[in-house]
Amino acid sequence: MNIRYPNGRKYSKPQKETTAKKGIEYGKRGMTLEEDLNSTNDYYLRQGIAVIHKKPTPVQIVQVDYPKRSSAVIKEAYFRQPSTTDYNGVYKGYYIDFEAKETKNKTSFPLGNFHEHQINHIRGVLAQAGLAFIIIRFSHTDEIFLLEGRFLLEFWNRMLDGGRKSISKEEIEKVGYCLPIGYQPRIDYLKIIDRILQS
Kindly report the CA angle at 118 between 195 and 104, in degrees rounded to 5?
75
Q: Would you say 118 is a known binding-site residue?
A: yes
Say whether 40 counts as a known binding-site residue.
Answer: no
Distance from the Cα of residue 55 to its chain's centroid: 11
Radius of gyration in angstroms for the set of CA atoms belonging to the chain, rounded to a whole number: 19
Residue 110, preceding peptide bond in cis (omega within 30° of 0): no
What single-letter amino acid sits at 70?
A: S
Residue 24 has phi, psi (to 5 degrees) of: -95, 130
Give which of 143, 81, 79 is closest to 107, Cα–Cα: 143
- How far is it, in rounded angstroms, from Cα 180 to Cα 91? 20
Q: CB of 176 within 8 A of CB of 167?
A: no
3-state secondary structure of 63: strand
**Is residue 192 within 8 Å of residue 43, measured between CB atoms?**
no
Question: Is residue 99 annotated as involved in ligand binding?
Answer: yes
- Residues annotated within the binding site for Mg(2+) are 84, 86, 99, 118
- Residues annotated within the binding site are 84, 86, 99, 118
